[in-house]
Structure 1
Amino acid sequence: MSAGPVGIREAGATEIGADLRHIRSWVFDLDDTLYPPESQFMGLIQQRINDYVVRTSGLPADEAMVVQKSYLHEYGTSLAGLMAHYRIDPHDFLAEVHDVPLDVLTPDPGLRAGLERLDGPRIVFTNGSKAHARRVIERLELTDLFDGLFSLEDADLIPKPDPRTFARMTEQFGVAPESAAFFEDTVRNLEPAHAIGMTTVLVGTRAHESDIPFVDHRAATLGPFLATARLPGDA
C-alpha cells in the first residue's frame, strides 16, 4: 500500500510535507530510530552481545563477531540465533546485554515536538527487552508520549521481521494496519509491515539512498519529518 505522493526531500535526506493524513496509529521502532545512530549507543550493546557470544561459544572475539552477525541476518536477533544453537537463559541474556550506561543518549526537543503533533496511539515496537525500552524512553524524556510498548517478551522472543510478531502487536493494541504508520531503521523489518498495509517510514542518515518498493517514506531523522508531515485534519 502506498501512502500517496512522496514529499519533498530536504537536503536529499528527509521528506518534507509527507502526506500522512490517513494515519490513525503511530508505531515506532526504538533503537537507532528514536535516537540517532551517531550516538553509538547500540555499539555498547553490540559489544556486550559479542562478549556473551565469546563466553557461550568459546570462539575468539573476531570469530564470535562473524557468528553474531550471521545470527542477526538469519534469525532476526543474535538472541534467536543463540537460542537455536546453545542452551541459554534468554532473560539473563537480555538483562546482561542491555546493562549499559545511557550517558550518550540525550533528549531531543525537536523529536518531542514532532511526536506531540500526532493524534492517536503512539506505540514502541522493539526487538529489545521491555526493561531496556522503558529505560531508554525515560532517558529520552518521552515516557508520557507513548501509549503502548511491545517488546521481545511480548512476542514470545520471536523478533521482527517475523509476520507473526506483527500480527500479535497489531492485535494487542487494536492497530488497523491500513491506517497505521511504522517508523524503523532496519529495512527488512519494513517489508512485513508494508505487506499488511502499514505505511512504512525508513529512518536513518542513509534512508534517502533506498529505492526499495516497500518503503513509502524516508527520514534522515524523525524530528523534521514529523514536524512537517501532513496529518489528519490538515487541508
Structure 2
Amino acid sequence: MSLGKAKPVGTWIFDLDNTLYPASCRLFDQVQVRIRQYIRENLGLSESEALALQKRYFQEHMTTLRGLIVNDGIDPHHFLDFVHAIDLSGLAPNPALDAAIAALPGRKVIFTNGSVPHAERVMEKVGIGRHFEAIFDIVASDFVPKPDLGVYRRLCAEHRIDPAGAVMIDDMPRNLAPAHELGMTTVLVKTEDDWAGPDVDPSFIHHVTEDLAAFLWPFGLPAKTGSIL
C-alpha cells in the first residue's frame, strides 16, 4: 500500500479534534456550547445572538476565537481555558490507534486550532500522547488559525518539516488545501458533521478514511517504509 510517492515519510502531522478520536464522541458539541456561553457572558448577548455571532465569526475569521480577538478584544487565553473545560468521560483508550501510530516511521506532530492543555488531556484519555514530539497549537500560531497558509509555513519552519516528505491528516477539508499547496500528502478523516465543511474540490485530498487506525496500520509495516508517500 502506498500514499503515492516512492519516498519515506519524514513527518506525520495530525489534527486533534475529531481526527485522533471519533466525531461520534461529540466532544466538539460541548466546546460549541461553551463558546456560546462565553459569548453570552462576556458580550451580553442572548443565546440566539451568540449562536449567530459564533457562526459568522467562524465563517469570516476561520475560528470564532479569531473573530472575538479581532472584533471584541477578548483575552484568548481565558477563552481557551473556558471553552476546553469539558467532560472527557466519553473518550476511551484506543489501543488500535496507539499501535498504528507507534508503528509509523518518521516523526509525529499535533497541529491544532485548540490549545496544548486540551490536546494533552485528550491524548492522555486516548492513550497516544507518548508518540508525539510536539504540539503546534493556536497559541504557537499567535492565534491565527488553520487554514491560513502562513501558519503552515510557520509550523514547518519551527519544526524543520519538509512538506514534500510530510503527511497531513485532518477532518476538515479546508484545512488540507494549504497542506496540499505546500506539497504535503493529505488525508481526510471523514465525518458527518456539517461544521467540517461542505463538499469541496477533491483535487487536494489524496486519501479519505473513516477509520484512522485501519488506514495507518499498513504504513507501519517494515516492507512499506520506503514507499509511503
Could you tell me the TM-score, scaled by structure 2's length?
0.89
Q: Is the 8 A contact 1:18 1:217 kept in 2?
A: no
The Cα of 1:37 is off from its aligned counterpart by 0.3
Count of matched residue pairs: 218
Please say if residues 108 and 131 of structure 2, whose CA atoms lie closer than 8 Å, have aligned partners that are also in contact. yes
In the alignment, structure 2 segments of 5+ residues that lack a partner are none
Choose from 56, 67, 79 the match for 2:53.
67
1:232 aligns with 2:218: no
Equivalent residue, structure 2, for 1:212: 202
Which one of the candidate residues 4, 21, 40 is aligned to 1:54?
40
CA distance in 2, matches of 1:71, 1:210: 21
The gaps in structure 1 that reach 5 residues or longer are: 1-16
- Residues 140-219 of structure 1 aligned to structure 2 (within 5 Å): 140-206=126-192, 212-219=202-209
**One-letter identity of the residue aligned with 1:146:** F
**Paired AA for residue 126 in structure 2:** L
Distance in 1 (CA, whole Å) between partners of 2:53 and 2:191 is 27
Contact 2:2 2:227 (8 Å CA) reproduced: no
The structure whose residues are more often helix, as a share, is 2
Task: Give me the CA root mean square deviation.
Answer: 1.9
Show CA shifts across 1:38-95 (max 9, x none).
Answer: 0001111111001011223322212211210121121111110111211211100111
1:35 corresponds to which letter in structure 2? Y
Is the 8 Å Cα contact of residues 193 and 200 (structure 1) preserved in structure 2? yes
Q: Kindly provide the CA deviation profile for residues 78-132 of structure 1, in whole angstroms up to 9, marking residues without a partner as x.
A: 1101112112111001111101121011111111121112111100000001111
Q: Indicate the percent of aligned positions where both proteins have the same amino acid.
A: 39
Q: State the shift of 1:167 in Å.
A: 0.8
Q: Pick from 92, 108, 119 the counterpart of residue 106 of structure 1.
A: 92
Q: Secondary structure at the match of 1:127?
A: coil
- Kindly tell me: are residues 210 and 223 of structure 1, through their superposed partners in 2, closer, same or farther at Cα, counting changes over 3 Å? farther
Shift of 1:18: 4.5
Q: Is the partner of 1:122 in helix, strand or coil?
A: strand
Instruction: Please give the secondary structure, in 1, of the residue aligned with 2:141.
Output: coil
